[in-house]
């Protein structure tokens, strides 16, 4: 369940790039096949169309893999504002070790947020704007992975 403080601002960039590459390759394959049909190209157009179509299908498979777990909440980028209550690294890995990634708690979100940015260790007590995404983990709790968008209203 997405926290109320999270506002949707976009879609993850790897989904957009992979999707557009797959669509472009498939359109190129269709165009080459049409040119081969209407203008009677030799085997070159046919082979190029088959190769382009195959690459488009591979891009489509990669796109489907990026879509796992097939729920919209994992495919979006969110913006969240709030005051940082605490900064630590107490989130444990599956091995039981502490993470090196700073973990912060905001007054507007009910869960801890991870930020892979060294500036995060100095954020205690400051107002921040973060861009976050929800990371899905198989048989584990979801993680909110964030980047700093603005500190104290400055961008």
Q: What is the pLDDT of residues 77-112, one digit of tens each?
A: 888 888 989 888 765 656 666 667 788 888 888 878
CB neighbour list of residue 119: distance below 8 Å, 6 or more residues apart: 148, 151
CATH label, 76-151, candidates 3.40.50.2300, 3.40.50.1100, 1.10.1660.10, 2.40.50.140: 2.40.50.140
**Percent of the chain surpassing pLDDT 90:** 1
- Mean of all residue pLDDT scores within the chain: 77
């Amino acid at each position: 369940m997405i926290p109320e403080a999270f506002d949707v601002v976009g879609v993850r960039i790897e989904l957009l790039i992979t999707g557009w590459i797959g669509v472009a390759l498939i359109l190129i394959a269709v165009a080459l096949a049409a040119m081969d049909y209407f203008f009677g190209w030799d085997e070159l157009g046919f082979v190029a169309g088959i190769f382009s179509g195959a690459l488009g299908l591979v891009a489509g498979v990669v796109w489907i893999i990026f879509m796992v777990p097939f729920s919209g909440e994992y495919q979006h980028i969110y913006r969240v504002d709030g005051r940082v209550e605490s900064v630590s690294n107490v989130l444990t890995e599956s091995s039981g070790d502490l993470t090196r990634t700073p973990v912060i708690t905001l007054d507007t979100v009910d869960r801890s947020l991870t930020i892979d940015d060294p500036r995060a260790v100095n954020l205690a007590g400051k107002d921040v704007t973060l861009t976050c995404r929800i990371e899905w983990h198989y048989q584990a709790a979801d993680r909110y992975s964030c980047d700093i968008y603005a500190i104290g209203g400055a961008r």
